[in-house]
Structure 1
Amino acid sequence: MLRAGARHPDADELEASTSRQHDQDVDVQMYATLNEYLQLEQKFQPRLCLPAGSENGEVTIGARDGAAHVLRCLKVWYDLPAEVLINAINLFDRFLTKMKVRPCHIPCITVSCMNIAIDQRAEDTRQPRTVSVEELVSVSQSACTAGDVRRMSRVIGDKLALAAHVRARTALHWLRLLHALLARAAARLHMRLPPLQESELVNLLEIAVCDASCVNARTSELALVIIYHKLEEQLAEWSQRESAAGGNTDSVYYLNDFAAQLQAHCNMSEASLASTRGLMRAAQARYGARGRAHPQRLVWRLSERTLKVLRPTDRLTSLLPTIEEQHFAVEQTPNRTRSGSESSESEETSDWPRSPVLPVYCNN
């Protein structure tokens, strides 16, 4: 019999065997998911062919990019997860692939795609949606009604054959899956490297999908190219640090080789991957150049009806007028009588709201 607190001689070997079996099960499950994504990739792949200029009243590339940026603004405004934005853009591009629409319908289609994406997110998480259709219409200023958005949402659902049990496998799904596979490969190699931050990868993906040049790229290629992009940025730093410390730099290149094995498993040719890499980098360059060339603060555009509701403080001044003292005798003080019909509504500030007004502070 073993003493109290003593371990079985085969306990360590049993734990190691259990850990290896668990790792193998996880790897099998992840590669099964990878194969599932490969089978469904073409089903959810947009194939847009939009003109650069409006010739016969067609939707242009600029209109598509404008709609994508409106969707991203709505995502930031309501602090929605990245899944909602990527799914809404995917729905928009797939609908334009199947249907020929007029430019005047683009605002309604844009808000409707966001509405569908929010509904799908609520169904997947089994939580009530936090953004109503009326709020989407109001903030987006799409000049359509909530009823129009609901009807257009049904049309989009019918044309794309949206089903409750089947969700689109977007580039974000691919990005997270490939990122997880690379992380497991790095763990097996015992690599002490700074991990690729998922938030940075998702930000690069949002910039890419908002650019029309990356619409027709394979979602798997776009995700792998983004991971390659971040990996190449850190390769030089990792190599220099390991060389200075006298460490082995081969593990870094092993990880790069593993990404190449993923490329072969997904049937990505070198030419297609190089083309997608060029499109992604061009989109990143345009995004960065636009941000540097047109720095601007947040501007609020309000309608006349909104201005009447807000009661702007245009009559407020920073300097108060001097109050002149008047010395009246007690008997000369004018009598101030107040009738029962007088109220503060007849004063100069009668148009100000009686409810409390909360100030809004903006960082300049």
Structure 2
Amino acid sequence: MIEQVTGAGVLPFTVQLKALLDQEARYQPKLCGLRIIESAPENGLRMTVKLRDFQVQDLLSLTQFFGFSLETFSLTVSLLNRFLAVMKIQPKHLACVGLCCFYIAVKTSEEEKSVPLASDLLRISQNRFTVHDMMRMEKIILEKLYWKVKAPTALHFLRFFHALIQEQLDAESKRILNIERLEAQLKACHCSFTFTKIKPSLLALSLLALEIEDEHECEPVPALREALDALRESLTVKAGDLVCVRELVAKCLAEYASTKCLKPNGQRLRWMISGRTARQLKHSYYKIAHLPTIPEYAC
């Protein structure tokens, strides 16, 4: 995957950022395709926003069932968004597309020994297509995306920005920005179609802005605000645009916290597997780690 590092002896921040932004522009989903999905009626005949979001929630469940990393989930969402933006798929094919995007991400991000067999993946996910269907769909996805898999995701930017800001803070202030909390928030955002049209760098910046501006208003840290402003200027993001996306993030997280919201992978899953598969699975596979409640920190 794409890695960024900070500290002495590495490329300057501006060089690393430019390289990431150049890649980001090439991997952004096509807006025209996303708008077609956004405008589709809920009649079961066309791909819709709701179907996409349900599929991502299922993929998050699958990611956590296997104990795969957030990098794998973020890349899965990136691949799915990009493919949906270039292909008008029928709802009946969505599960196959989603599982293939997941499988591509797993083979890209995880260690080879952790990659499950396609047949086991099919059995565990309870999908009714075949391994041959998967292989055929995987080839279509890769061809339509020109075999460009390793896209810079919002997670890459979030960790990159977080590490940069932490370098500028004292030991006491470093505890304010909790990366685990920010990553949990990013999971919720990935499950919302709203953010498919927003650049990963801006989404990452908005998550940091919400944490700095809203969550710690009663404990202002000038260094945090200065670092955020410097990042915004480096990204050439207008202050008004950042405020708008920050509000979208706040709305998404508020809906996630609501008892009326179907939280990402909050549904209970029943996995139908054979005895042979059960013996092959790791013990940790049976511990389904649901998307945790985003922790609240008092001032």
Letter in 2 for 1:66: F
| Alignment counterpart, residue 157 of structure 2, candidates 174, 180, 185 | 174
Mapping of residues 1-364 of structure 1, within 5 Å: 25-26=9-10, 28-46=11-29, 47=31, 48-49=34-35, 50=37, 51=39, 53-54=41-42, 57-122=45-110, 127-163=112-148, 167-187=150-170, 192-239=173-220, 252-290=221-259, 299=268, 301=270
**CA separation in 1, counterparts of 2:233 and 2:207?**
17
TM-score norm. by structure 1 comes to 0.66
- Superposed CA deviations along residues 57-76 of structure 1, whole A, max 9, x for unmatched, are 21011110011001100011
Do 2:212 and 2:224's aligned partners in 1 also have CA atoms closer than 8 Å? no
Unaligned 5+ residue runs, structure 2?
1-5, 276-285, 289-299
Do 1:41 and 1:219's aligned partners in 2 also have CA atoms closer than 8 Å? yes
Do 1:70 and 1:140's aligned partners in 2 also have CA atoms closer than 8 Å? no
Do 1:211 and 1:283's aligned partners in 2 also have CA atoms closer than 8 Å? yes
Aligned length: 267
Q: 1:291: how far off?
A: 6.0
Do 1:44 and 1:170's aligned partners in 2 also have CA atoms closer than 8 Å? no
- Superposed CA deviations along residues 204-228 of structure 1, whole A, max 9, x for unmatched, are 0010011011110111110011111
- Superposed CA deviations along residues 277-324 of structure 1, whole A, max 9, x for unmatched, are 122112112211146789x98645577xx7xx89xxxxxxxxxxxxxx
Do 2:44 and 2:91's aligned partners in 1 also have CA atoms closer than 8 Å? no
CA spacing shift, 1:185–1:71, aligned 2, 3 Å: same
Do 1:95 and 1:156's aligned partners in 2 also have CA atoms closer than 8 Å? yes
Q: 1:129: how far off?
A: 3.2
Of structures 1 and 2, the larger Rg is shown by 1
**Which secondary structure does the structure 2 equivalent of 1:169 belong to?**
coil
**Which secondary structure does the structure 1 equivalent of 2:180 belong to?**
helix
Q: 1:197: how far off?
A: 2.0
**CA separation in 2, counterparts of 1:128 and 1:115?**
14
TM-score norm. by structure 2 comes to 0.80
Letter in 1 for 2:25: Q
Q: 1:191: how far off?
A: 5.5
Do 2:124 and 2:271's aligned partners in 1 also have CA atoms closer than 8 Å? no
- Name the residue aligned to 1:7: none
**Which secondary structure does the structure 1 equivalent of 2:47 belong to?**
coil
Query: Identical aligned pairs, as a percentage?
Result: 24
CA spacing shift, 1:62–1:200, aligned 2, 3 Å: same
Cα RMSD over matched residues?
Answer: 2.9
Letter in 2 for 1:105: H
**Which secondary structure does the structure 2 equivalent of 1:238 belong to?**
coil
Letter in 1 for 2:134: V
**CA separation in 1, counterparts of 2:196 and 2:56?**
11
Q: 1:194: how far off?
A: 1.6
**CA separation in 2, counterparts of 1:302 and 1:265?**
46
Structure possessing the higher relative contact order (Cα contacts under 8 Å, 6 or more residues apart): 2
- Superposed CA deviations along residues 232-283 of structure 1, whole A, max 9, x for unmatched, are 34533434xxxxxxxxxxxx12321221111111111123212211221121
Do 2:126 and 2:271's aligned partners in 1 also have CA atoms closer than 8 Å? no
**CA separation in 2, counterparts of 1:60 and 1:94?**
15
Q: 1:231: how far off?
A: 2.0
Q: 1:143: how far off?
A: 1.5
Unaligned 5+ residue runs, structure 1?
1-21, 240-251, 311-359
CA spacing shift, 1:290–1:161, aligned 2, 3 Å: farther
**CA separation in 1, counterparts of 2:270 and 2:172?**
52
